[in-house]
Structure 1
Amino acid sequence: MRETLPDEIPIRPTADVSAGYEALPYSRRCREIWRRGEHLLIGVSPGNSYFSHRRIAELVGWGSGFFERIDIVYADLHVATQFETFGYTPEHARRRAAKEVKATARRIERGVEESGRPCPVRMHALSEFTGDDHYRRLHRQAVEALQTDPAYRTAAENMARGFLAARLDEGLAPSEAQLAAGVRYITAELPFFLDTPALLGVTTSVSCYHLQLPLTHVLFGRDEGLRAAPGQAYAVVRPAAVPSVPPLPSLPARAA
Protein backbone atom coordinates (compact mmCIF):
# COMPACT_ATOMS: atom_id res chain seq x y z
CA MET A 1 0.00 0.00 0.00
CA ARG A 2 1.29 3.44 -0.89
CA GLU A 3 1.91 6.05 1.70
CA THR A 4 -0.95 8.52 2.08
CA LEU A 5 -0.76 12.10 3.21
CA PRO A 6 -2.27 13.00 6.56
CA ASP A 7 -5.51 14.99 6.64
CA GLU A 8 -3.68 18.04 7.87
CA ILE A 9 -1.29 18.24 4.90
CA PRO A 10 -1.09 21.96 4.23
CA ILE A 11 -2.11 23.97 1.27
CA ARG A 12 0.43 26.69 2.18
CA PRO A 13 2.80 27.42 3.83
CA THR A 14 3.53 24.46 6.14
CA ALA A 15 4.25 21.10 4.60
CA ASP A 16 4.16 17.34 4.68
CA VAL A 17 7.63 16.03 5.42
CA SER A 18 8.75 12.55 4.41
CA ALA A 19 12.14 10.96 3.74
CA GLY A 20 13.95 14.30 3.75
CA TYR A 21 11.57 16.15 1.41
CA GLU A 22 8.52 18.28 1.92
CA ALA A 23 5.55 18.75 -0.42
CA LEU A 24 3.50 21.93 -0.69
CA PRO A 25 0.53 21.47 -3.07
CA TYR A 26 -0.45 24.92 -4.30
CA SER A 27 -4.22 24.80 -3.71
CA ARG A 28 -6.97 22.63 -2.31
CA ARG A 29 -7.56 21.08 -5.73
CA CYS A 30 -3.82 20.42 -6.07
CA ARG A 31 -3.87 18.73 -2.67
CA GLU A 32 -6.81 16.54 -3.68
CA ILE A 33 -5.02 15.46 -6.87
CA TRP A 34 -1.88 14.76 -4.86
CA ARG A 35 -3.83 12.50 -2.53
CA ARG A 36 -5.02 10.41 -5.47
CA GLY A 37 -1.40 9.45 -5.99
CA GLU A 38 -1.71 8.57 -9.66
CA HIS A 39 1.13 10.41 -11.37
CA LEU A 40 4.07 12.68 -10.61
CA LEU A 41 5.91 14.69 -13.27
CA ILE A 42 9.46 15.88 -12.64
CA GLY A 43 10.74 18.48 -15.09
CA VAL A 44 14.50 18.91 -15.50
CA SER A 45 16.25 21.78 -17.28
CA PRO A 46 19.73 21.44 -18.84
CA GLY A 47 22.40 23.27 -16.92
CA ASN A 48 20.42 23.30 -13.68
CA SER A 49 22.87 22.13 -11.03
CA TYR A 50 20.05 21.42 -8.58
CA PHE A 51 19.18 18.23 -10.48
CA SER A 52 22.23 16.11 -9.79
CA HIS A 53 21.91 12.36 -10.30
CA ARG A 54 21.73 11.96 -6.52
CA ARG A 55 18.86 14.47 -6.28
CA ILE A 56 16.96 12.67 -9.03
CA ALA A 57 17.50 9.33 -7.28
CA GLU A 58 16.15 10.80 -4.04
CA LEU A 59 13.13 12.38 -5.74
CA VAL A 60 12.21 9.16 -7.53
CA GLY A 61 12.61 7.12 -4.37
CA TRP A 62 10.64 9.63 -2.32
CA GLY A 63 7.93 10.15 -4.94
CA SER A 64 7.31 6.42 -5.28
CA GLY A 65 5.98 6.46 -1.74
CA PHE A 66 3.07 8.61 -2.91
CA PHE A 67 2.58 7.91 -6.63
CA GLU A 68 1.87 4.92 -8.82
CA ARG A 69 3.92 6.25 -11.74
CA ILE A 70 6.59 8.89 -12.32
CA ASP A 71 7.64 10.53 -15.57
CA ILE A 72 10.69 12.75 -16.00
CA VAL A 73 10.74 15.23 -18.89
CA TYR A 74 13.91 17.14 -19.72
CA ALA A 75 13.93 20.26 -21.88
CA ASP A 76 15.86 20.07 -25.15
CA LEU A 77 14.05 22.73 -27.20
CA HIS A 78 15.34 26.29 -27.79
CA VAL A 79 18.48 25.63 -25.76
CA ALA A 80 20.84 26.53 -28.61
CA THR A 81 18.87 29.71 -29.35
CA GLN A 82 19.52 30.95 -25.84
CA PHE A 83 23.26 30.42 -26.23
CA GLU A 84 23.16 32.40 -29.48
CA THR A 85 21.63 35.38 -27.66
CA PHE A 86 24.65 35.32 -25.35
CA GLY A 87 27.05 35.69 -28.27
CA TYR A 88 27.79 32.11 -29.27
CA THR A 89 28.04 31.41 -32.98
CA PRO A 90 25.19 29.19 -34.25
CA GLU A 91 27.55 26.21 -34.60
CA HIS A 92 29.08 26.68 -31.14
CA ALA A 93 25.61 27.20 -29.64
CA ARG A 94 24.38 23.93 -31.13
CA ARG A 95 27.41 22.04 -29.80
CA ARG A 96 27.08 23.59 -26.34
CA ALA A 97 23.34 22.87 -26.21
CA ALA A 98 23.82 19.28 -27.36
CA LYS A 99 26.47 18.76 -24.69
CA GLU A 100 24.24 20.11 -21.91
CA VAL A 101 21.20 18.13 -23.05
CA LYS A 102 23.23 14.91 -23.30
CA ALA A 103 24.70 15.45 -19.82
CA THR A 104 21.20 16.05 -18.45
CA ALA A 105 19.90 12.81 -19.96
CA ARG A 106 22.84 10.90 -18.46
CA ARG A 107 22.18 12.35 -15.00
CA ILE A 108 18.53 11.34 -15.19
CA GLU A 109 19.37 7.82 -16.33
CA ARG A 110 21.91 7.40 -13.54
CA GLY A 111 19.55 8.85 -10.94
CA VAL A 112 16.66 6.58 -11.95
CA GLU A 113 18.97 3.57 -11.91
CA GLU A 114 20.32 4.43 -8.45
CA SER A 115 16.78 4.97 -7.12
CA GLY A 116 16.10 1.25 -7.55
CA ARG A 117 13.03 2.08 -9.69
CA PRO A 118 10.56 1.49 -6.83
CA CYS A 119 7.67 2.42 -9.17
CA PRO A 120 7.38 2.68 -12.97
CA VAL A 121 9.58 5.57 -14.15
CA ARG A 122 9.88 6.82 -17.72
CA MET A 123 12.04 9.63 -19.09
CA HIS A 124 11.34 11.74 -22.16
CA ALA A 125 12.97 14.54 -24.11
CA LEU A 126 10.57 17.44 -24.58
CA SER A 127 11.15 17.28 -28.33
CA GLU A 128 9.48 13.84 -28.41
CA PHE A 129 6.11 15.58 -28.04
CA THR A 130 6.31 18.21 -30.76
CA GLY A 131 4.42 15.99 -33.20
CA ASP A 132 1.67 15.18 -30.69
CA ASP A 133 -1.68 16.87 -31.38
CA HIS A 134 -2.31 17.54 -27.68
CA TYR A 135 1.11 19.14 -27.27
CA ARG A 136 0.59 21.32 -30.35
CA ARG A 137 -2.80 22.49 -29.10
CA LEU A 138 -1.49 23.32 -25.62
CA HIS A 139 1.63 25.02 -26.96
CA ARG A 140 -0.46 27.10 -29.35
CA GLN A 141 -2.64 28.22 -26.44
CA ALA A 142 0.44 29.19 -24.43
CA VAL A 143 1.91 31.22 -27.31
CA GLU A 144 -1.34 32.95 -28.27
CA ALA A 145 -2.08 33.88 -24.64
CA LEU A 146 1.07 36.00 -24.60
CA GLN A 147 -0.85 38.48 -26.75
CA THR A 148 -4.22 38.30 -25.02
CA ASP A 149 -3.48 37.63 -21.32
CA PRO A 150 -1.37 40.41 -19.72
CA ALA A 151 -1.07 38.68 -16.33
CA TYR A 152 0.20 35.52 -17.97
CA ARG A 153 2.66 37.41 -20.19
CA THR A 154 4.07 39.32 -17.22
CA ALA A 155 4.49 36.10 -15.23
CA ALA A 156 6.15 34.32 -18.17
CA GLU A 157 8.59 37.20 -18.66
CA ASN A 158 9.38 37.34 -14.94
CA MET A 159 10.02 33.61 -14.96
CA ALA A 160 12.33 34.03 -17.96
CA ARG A 161 14.21 36.84 -16.21
CA GLY A 162 14.73 34.62 -13.18
CA PHE A 163 16.01 31.82 -15.38
CA LEU A 164 18.35 34.14 -17.29
CA ALA A 165 19.73 35.77 -14.16
CA ALA A 166 21.98 32.76 -13.57
CA ARG A 167 23.69 33.40 -16.93
CA LEU A 168 24.03 37.17 -16.61
CA ASP A 169 26.50 39.24 -14.64
CA GLU A 170 25.01 40.48 -11.40
CA GLY A 171 22.83 43.55 -11.90
CA LEU A 172 22.48 43.18 -15.66
CA ALA A 173 19.04 42.91 -17.24
CA PRO A 174 18.48 40.55 -20.18
CA SER A 175 18.35 42.02 -23.67
CA GLU A 176 15.13 41.87 -25.66
CA ALA A 177 16.52 38.94 -27.67
CA GLN A 178 17.53 37.06 -24.52
CA LEU A 179 14.14 37.66 -22.90
CA ALA A 180 12.29 36.52 -26.04
CA ALA A 181 14.41 33.35 -26.20
CA GLY A 182 13.70 32.70 -22.54
CA VAL A 183 9.95 33.04 -23.05
CA ARG A 184 10.07 30.65 -26.03
CA TYR A 185 11.90 28.14 -23.86
CA ILE A 186 9.25 28.45 -21.14
CA THR A 187 6.26 28.21 -23.47
CA ALA A 188 7.74 25.01 -24.91
CA GLU A 189 7.56 23.48 -21.41
CA LEU A 190 4.16 24.92 -20.48
CA PRO A 191 2.01 22.10 -21.94
CA PHE A 192 3.21 19.96 -19.03
CA PHE A 193 1.98 22.56 -16.55
CA LEU A 194 -1.33 22.91 -18.39
CA ASP A 195 -2.41 19.33 -19.07
CA THR A 196 0.05 16.50 -18.43
CA PRO A 197 -2.84 13.96 -18.33
CA ALA A 198 -3.62 14.65 -22.01
CA LEU A 199 0.05 14.28 -22.95
CA LEU A 200 0.87 11.11 -21.02
CA GLY A 201 -2.47 9.33 -20.88
CA VAL A 202 -3.01 9.54 -17.13
CA THR A 203 -6.13 10.61 -15.25
CA THR A 204 -4.51 13.21 -13.00
CA SER A 205 -0.96 14.47 -12.56
CA VAL A 206 1.13 16.61 -10.22
CA SER A 207 3.91 18.67 -11.79
CA CYS A 208 6.57 19.49 -9.24
CA TYR A 209 9.52 21.81 -8.88
CA HIS A 210 11.64 22.92 -5.94
CA LEU A 211 10.51 26.56 -6.16
CA GLN A 212 7.26 28.46 -6.39
CA LEU A 213 7.22 29.86 -9.93
CA PRO A 214 5.83 33.21 -11.13
CA LEU A 215 3.39 31.30 -13.34
CA THR A 216 1.99 29.16 -10.53
CA HIS A 217 -0.73 31.60 -9.46
CA VAL A 218 -1.65 32.40 -13.06
CA LEU A 219 -2.15 28.76 -14.04
CA PHE A 220 -3.53 27.39 -10.75
CA GLY A 221 -4.94 30.29 -8.77
CA ARG A 222 -7.48 32.12 -10.94
CA ASP A 223 -10.70 31.44 -12.85
CA GLU A 224 -9.94 33.29 -16.09
CA GLY A 225 -7.32 33.42 -18.81
CA LEU A 226 -4.81 30.65 -19.46
CA ARG A 227 -5.00 28.06 -16.69
CA ALA A 228 -4.34 24.42 -15.97
CA ALA A 229 -6.77 21.62 -16.82
CA PRO A 230 -8.91 20.19 -13.98
CA GLY A 231 -6.73 17.09 -13.69
CA GLN A 232 -3.47 19.03 -13.46
CA ALA A 233 -1.88 19.99 -10.14
CA TYR A 234 1.30 21.72 -9.03
CA ALA A 235 3.37 21.29 -5.88
CA VAL A 236 6.63 22.61 -4.58
CA VAL A 237 8.74 19.61 -3.60
CA ARG A 238 11.97 20.50 -1.87
CA PRO A 239 14.43 19.20 0.71
CA ALA A 240 12.89 19.48 4.15
CA ALA A 241 14.48 21.71 6.72
CA VAL A 242 15.72 19.37 9.43
CA PRO A 243 15.68 20.96 12.89
CA SER A 244 18.74 20.51 15.02
CA VAL A 245 18.41 17.85 17.68
CA PRO A 246 19.76 18.70 21.13
CA PRO A 247 22.19 16.16 22.57
CA LEU A 248 20.82 13.64 25.03
CA PRO A 249 21.56 14.43 28.68
CA SER A 250 24.39 12.45 30.22
CA LEU A 251 23.26 9.43 32.19
CA PRO A 252 24.40 9.06 35.76
CA ALA A 253 27.19 6.57 36.25
CA ARG A 254 26.04 3.11 37.21
CA ALA A 255 26.76 1.98 40.69
CA ALA A 256 29.34 -0.75 40.82
Structure 2
Amino acid sequence: MTTAIRTGTFAVRPYTPHCRVIHDEGDHAVIGISSGNGYFTHERVLDLAGWGLAQFRQVDLIWTDMHVAEMFEALGYPPVEAQRKAVKNLRGVRAKVTAAVSSLDPDGERLRGRPMSALLELPAYQRIRTQLDALLTQDPEFREVCDQLAARFLADKLNGRPPTDRQREVCIKYVCAEVPLFLDTPAILDVPSSLNCYHQALPLAELLYARGWGLRASRNQGHAVITPADTEERSA
Protein backbone atom coordinates (compact mmCIF):
# COMPACT_ATOMS: atom_id res chain seq x y z
CA MET A 1 0.00 0.00 0.00
CA THR A 2 1.28 3.50 -0.80
CA THR A 3 2.09 6.32 1.60
CA ALA A 4 -0.93 7.95 3.23
CA ILE A 5 -2.29 11.17 1.75
CA ARG A 6 -3.59 13.41 4.53
CA THR A 7 -6.51 15.57 3.44
CA GLY A 8 -8.04 17.31 6.43
CA THR A 9 -10.25 14.87 8.33
CA PHE A 10 -9.00 11.71 6.62
CA ALA A 11 -5.86 9.86 5.64
CA VAL A 12 -6.05 8.02 2.33
CA ARG A 13 -3.85 5.11 1.33
CA PRO A 14 -4.20 4.17 -2.36
CA TYR A 15 -3.50 0.46 -2.67
CA THR A 16 -0.96 0.70 -5.52
CA PRO A 17 0.88 3.51 -7.32
CA HIS A 18 -1.64 3.17 -10.14
CA CYS A 19 -4.47 3.56 -7.62
CA ARG A 20 -2.71 6.76 -6.56
CA VAL A 21 -2.90 7.97 -10.17
CA ILE A 22 -6.64 7.27 -10.22
CA HIS A 23 -7.00 9.13 -6.91
CA ASP A 24 -5.13 12.11 -8.34
CA GLU A 25 -7.23 12.13 -11.53
CA GLY A 26 -10.25 12.82 -9.31
CA ASP A 27 -12.95 11.55 -11.65
CA HIS A 28 -15.10 9.49 -9.33
CA ALA A 29 -15.17 7.76 -5.96
CA VAL A 30 -17.38 5.06 -4.51
CA ILE A 31 -17.60 5.19 -0.73
CA GLY A 32 -19.06 1.99 0.70
CA ILE A 33 -21.33 2.39 3.72
CA SER A 34 -22.06 -0.81 5.66
CA SER A 35 -25.45 -1.18 7.32
CA GLY A 36 -25.43 -1.84 11.04
CA ASN A 37 -21.76 -0.85 11.37
CA GLY A 38 -21.17 1.55 14.26
CA TYR A 39 -18.21 3.09 12.44
CA PHE A 40 -20.60 4.87 10.08
CA THR A 41 -22.17 7.47 12.34
CA HIS A 42 -24.17 10.40 10.92
CA GLU A 43 -21.14 12.64 11.37
CA ARG A 44 -18.74 10.13 9.78
CA VAL A 45 -20.93 9.67 6.69
CA LEU A 46 -21.27 13.45 6.33
CA ASP A 47 -17.49 13.87 6.67
CA LEU A 48 -16.81 11.12 4.12
CA ALA A 49 -19.19 12.72 1.65
CA GLY A 50 -17.55 16.12 2.18
CA TRP A 51 -14.11 14.61 1.69
CA GLY A 52 -15.26 12.95 -1.52
CA LEU A 53 -16.68 16.15 -2.96
CA ALA A 54 -13.44 17.99 -2.17
CA GLN A 55 -11.36 15.39 -4.03
CA PHE A 56 -13.54 14.07 -6.88
CA ARG A 57 -15.85 15.40 -9.55
CA GLN A 58 -18.49 12.77 -8.72
CA VAL A 59 -19.12 10.67 -5.63
CA ASP A 60 -21.44 7.73 -4.98
CA LEU A 61 -22.30 6.72 -1.44
CA ILE A 62 -23.47 3.11 -1.76
CA TRP A 63 -24.86 1.15 1.14
CA THR A 64 -25.28 -2.61 1.33
CA ASP A 65 -28.93 -3.66 1.43
CA MET A 66 -28.79 -7.16 -0.10
CA HIS A 67 -28.96 -10.43 1.90
CA VAL A 68 -29.14 -8.52 5.20
CA ALA A 69 -32.22 -10.32 6.54
CA GLU A 70 -30.80 -13.64 5.33
CA MET A 71 -27.64 -12.94 7.30
CA PHE A 72 -29.55 -12.22 10.52
CA GLU A 73 -31.57 -15.41 10.05
CA ALA A 74 -28.39 -17.44 9.43
CA LEU A 75 -27.00 -16.03 12.67
CA GLY A 76 -29.92 -17.53 14.56
CA TYR A 77 -32.66 -14.91 14.60
CA PRO A 78 -36.21 -16.11 13.88
CA PRO A 79 -37.36 -15.03 10.39
CA VAL A 80 -39.68 -12.26 11.62
CA GLU A 81 -37.03 -10.85 13.98
CA ALA A 82 -34.37 -11.12 11.25
CA GLN A 83 -36.54 -9.10 8.90
CA ARG A 84 -37.28 -6.54 11.59
CA LYS A 85 -33.59 -6.05 12.38
CA ALA A 86 -32.73 -5.76 8.68
CA VAL A 87 -35.40 -3.11 8.14
CA LYS A 88 -34.18 -1.15 11.17
CA ASN A 89 -30.53 -1.27 10.07
CA LEU A 90 -31.31 -0.30 6.50
CA ARG A 91 -33.59 2.53 7.57
CA GLY A 92 -30.76 3.90 9.69
CA VAL A 93 -28.07 3.77 7.02
CA ARG A 94 -30.42 5.20 4.39
CA ALA A 95 -31.19 8.13 6.70
CA LYS A 96 -27.48 8.86 7.17
CA VAL A 97 -26.74 8.81 3.45
CA THR A 98 -29.85 10.83 2.57
CA ALA A 99 -28.96 13.44 5.17
CA ALA A 100 -25.43 13.79 3.77
CA VAL A 101 -26.67 14.21 0.20
CA SER A 102 -29.38 16.68 1.24
CA SER A 103 -26.86 18.74 3.19
CA LEU A 104 -24.00 18.82 0.68
CA ASP A 105 -25.57 18.43 -2.77
CA PRO A 106 -29.37 18.52 -2.61
CA ASP A 107 -29.71 18.57 -6.39
CA GLY A 108 -27.64 15.40 -6.71
CA GLU A 109 -25.40 16.87 -9.39
CA ARG A 110 -22.15 15.50 -7.95
CA LEU A 111 -23.12 13.42 -4.92
CA ARG A 112 -25.47 10.48 -5.15
CA GLY A 113 -26.66 8.03 -2.53
CA ARG A 114 -28.05 4.66 -3.55
CA PRO A 115 -28.48 1.14 -2.20
CA MET A 116 -26.52 -1.73 -3.68
CA SER A 117 -29.77 -3.24 -4.98
CA ALA A 118 -30.19 -0.25 -7.33
CA LEU A 119 -27.25 -1.63 -9.33
CA LEU A 120 -29.02 -4.89 -10.12
CA GLU A 121 -30.70 -3.41 -13.19
CA LEU A 122 -27.42 -2.20 -14.71
CA PRO A 123 -26.09 -4.48 -17.50
CA ALA A 124 -22.41 -4.26 -16.52
CA TYR A 125 -23.21 -5.16 -12.90
CA GLN A 126 -25.31 -8.10 -14.05
CA ARG A 127 -22.52 -9.33 -16.33
CA ILE A 128 -19.86 -9.16 -13.61
CA ARG A 129 -22.08 -10.86 -11.04
CA THR A 130 -22.70 -13.73 -13.46
CA GLN A 131 -18.94 -14.10 -13.95
CA LEU A 132 -18.35 -14.11 -10.20
CA ASP A 133 -20.94 -16.83 -9.62
CA ALA A 134 -19.05 -19.01 -12.08
CA LEU A 135 -15.68 -18.18 -10.53
CA LEU A 136 -16.85 -19.28 -7.08
CA THR A 137 -16.87 -22.85 -8.37
CA GLN A 138 -14.10 -22.59 -10.99
CA ASP A 139 -11.41 -20.39 -9.42
CA PRO A 140 -9.93 -21.70 -6.13
CA GLU A 141 -8.03 -18.44 -5.56
CA PHE A 142 -11.18 -16.33 -5.73
CA ARG A 143 -13.10 -18.81 -3.59
CA GLU A 144 -10.36 -18.70 -0.95
CA VAL A 145 -10.48 -14.91 -0.79
CA CYS A 146 -14.28 -14.98 -0.44
CA ASP A 147 -13.94 -17.55 2.35
CA GLN A 148 -11.43 -15.27 4.10
CA LEU A 149 -13.77 -12.30 3.83
CA ALA A 150 -16.68 -14.37 5.14
CA ALA A 151 -14.61 -15.67 8.06
CA ARG A 152 -13.48 -12.15 8.91
CA PHE A 153 -17.04 -10.83 8.89
CA LEU A 154 -18.45 -13.74 10.89
CA ALA A 155 -15.68 -13.77 13.50
CA ASP A 156 -17.14 -10.66 15.14
CA LYS A 157 -20.63 -12.14 15.09
CA LEU A 158 -19.96 -15.65 16.40
CA ASN A 159 -17.63 -14.96 19.37
CA GLY A 160 -15.13 -17.60 18.33
CA ARG A 161 -17.62 -20.28 17.28
CA PRO A 162 -16.96 -21.86 13.88
CA PRO A 163 -19.44 -20.76 11.20
CA THR A 164 -21.98 -23.17 9.80
CA ASP A 165 -22.17 -23.92 6.08
CA ARG A 166 -25.35 -21.84 5.89
CA GLN A 167 -23.71 -18.83 7.55
CA ARG A 168 -20.70 -19.07 5.25
CA GLU A 169 -22.93 -19.40 2.17
CA VAL A 170 -25.06 -16.33 2.99
CA CYS A 171 -22.00 -14.27 3.92
CA ILE A 172 -20.32 -15.07 0.59
CA LYS A 173 -23.48 -13.94 -1.24
CA TYR A 174 -23.31 -10.70 0.77
CA VAL A 175 -19.63 -10.26 -0.14
CA CYS A 176 -20.13 -11.02 -3.83
CA ALA A 177 -22.81 -8.36 -4.11
CA GLU A 178 -20.07 -5.78 -3.42
CA VAL A 179 -17.24 -7.27 -5.48
CA PRO A 180 -18.29 -5.78 -8.87
CA LEU A 181 -17.59 -2.28 -7.48
CA PHE A 182 -14.03 -3.38 -6.71
CA LEU A 183 -13.63 -4.81 -10.20
CA ASP A 184 -15.03 -2.29 -12.66
CA THR A 185 -17.06 0.62 -11.32
CA PRO A 186 -16.28 2.68 -14.47
CA ALA A 187 -18.20 0.18 -16.59
CA ILE A 188 -21.04 -0.16 -14.09
CA LEU A 189 -21.61 3.56 -13.46
CA ASP A 190 -20.28 4.92 -16.77
CA VAL A 191 -17.45 7.06 -15.37
CA PRO A 192 -13.91 7.53 -16.76
CA SER A 193 -12.16 6.10 -13.68
CA SER A 194 -13.12 5.36 -10.11
CA LEU A 195 -11.56 4.89 -6.68
CA ASN A 196 -13.33 2.44 -4.39
CA CYS A 197 -12.90 3.60 -0.79
CA TYR A 198 -13.33 1.63 2.40
CA HIS A 199 -12.03 2.03 5.95
CA GLN A 200 -10.30 -1.34 6.19
CA ALA A 201 -7.76 -3.20 4.09
CA LEU A 202 -9.44 -6.22 2.49
CA PRO A 203 -7.94 -9.53 1.29
CA LEU A 204 -9.82 -8.96 -1.93
CA ALA A 205 -7.47 -6.11 -2.86
CA GLU A 206 -4.46 -8.43 -2.67
CA LEU A 207 -6.06 -10.59 -5.33
CA LEU A 208 -7.41 -7.86 -7.60
CA TYR A 209 -4.16 -5.88 -7.75
CA ALA A 210 -1.71 -8.78 -7.91
CA ARG A 211 0.58 -9.28 -10.89
CA GLY A 212 -0.07 -12.00 -13.43
CA TRP A 213 -3.24 -13.71 -14.55
CA GLY A 214 -6.50 -14.24 -12.72
CA LEU A 215 -9.33 -12.05 -11.51
CA ARG A 216 -8.04 -8.48 -11.69
CA ALA A 217 -9.50 -5.00 -11.34
CA SER A 218 -9.97 -3.06 -14.57
CA ARG A 219 -7.27 -0.58 -15.51
CA ASN A 220 -9.51 2.38 -14.64
CA GLN A 221 -10.47 0.93 -11.25
CA GLY A 222 -8.60 1.88 -8.08
CA HIS A 223 -8.90 1.07 -4.41
CA ALA A 224 -7.93 3.00 -1.29
CA VAL A 225 -8.20 2.62 2.46
CA ILE A 226 -9.54 5.81 4.02
CA THR A 227 -9.39 6.28 7.76
CA PRO A 228 -9.74 9.22 10.17
CA ALA A 229 -6.54 11.26 10.13
CA ASP A 230 -6.16 11.11 13.91
CA THR A 231 -6.25 7.30 13.77
CA GLU A 232 -3.49 7.33 11.17
CA GLU A 233 -1.39 9.63 13.35
CA ARG A 234 -1.76 7.39 16.41
CA SER A 235 -0.69 4.32 14.43
CA ALA A 236 2.31 6.06 12.80
Same fold (TM over 0.5): yes
Q: Contact conserved, 2:53 with 2:111, CA < 8 A, in 1?
A: no
Moved more, 87-96 or 74-83: 87-96
What 5-or-longer segments of structure 1 have no aligned partner? 1-10, 245-256
The residue that corresponds to 2:6 in the other structure is: 17
SS at 1:47 equivalent: coil
Q: CA deviation at 1:148?
A: 2.0
* Separation in structure 2 between the aligned mates of residue 114 and residue 131 of structure 1, nearest angstrom: 28
Moved more, 225-234 or 119-128: 119-128
Give the paired residue count: 232
Structure 1 residues 141 and 168, CA gap change in structure 2 (3 angstroms): same
Q: CA deviation at 1:111?
A: 3.0
The residue that corresponds to 1:27 in the other structure is: 16
The residue that corresponds to 1:152 in the other structure is: 142
Per-residue CA deviations over 1:186-230 (Å, capped at 9, x if unaligned) read 001111111111111101000000111011111122332112111
The residue that corresponds to 1:250 in the other structure is: none
Code of the residue aligned with 2:129 in structure 1: it is H
* Separation in structure 1 between the aligned mates of residue 213 and residue 88 of structure 2, nearest angstrom: 40
Q: Does 1:59 align with 2:79?
A: no
Pick from 63, 71, 82: which aligns with 2:71?
82
Pick from 125, 136, 142: which aligns with 1:135?
125
Structure 1 residues 24 and 119, CA gap change in structure 2 (3 angstroms): farther
Give me the CA root mean square deviation. 1.9
The residue that corresponds to 1:8 in the other structure is: none
Q: CA deviation at 1:243?
A: 5.3
Percent identity over paired residues? 37
Higher Cα Rg, which structure: 1
**TM-score normalised to structure 1 length:** 0.85
Q: CA deviation at 1:92?
A: 2.4
Q: Contact conserved, 1:42 with 1:208, CA < 8 A, in 2?
A: yes
* Separation in structure 1 between the aligned mates of residue 120 and residue 185 of structure 2, nearest angstrom: 14
Q: Contact conserved, 1:24 with 1:236, CA < 8 A, in 2?
A: yes
* Separation in structure 1 between the aligned mates of residue 73 and residue 51 of structure 2, nearest angstrom: 38
The residue that corresponds to 1:234 in the other structure is: 223
Higher helix proportion, which one?
A: 2
- Asked which structure has the greater RCO (Cα within 8 Å, sep 6+), the reply is 2
SS at 1:227 equivalent: coil
Structure 1 residues 93 and 212, CA gap change in structure 2 (3 angstroms): same
* Separation in structure 2 between the aligned mates of residue 133 and residue 59 of structure 1, nearest angstrom: 28
Stretches (4+) displaced over 4 A: 114-119
Pick from 183, 186, 193: which aligns with 2:172?
183
Q: Contact conserved, 2:105 with 2:111, CA < 8 A, in 1?
A: no
The residue that corresponds to 1:248 in the other structure is: none
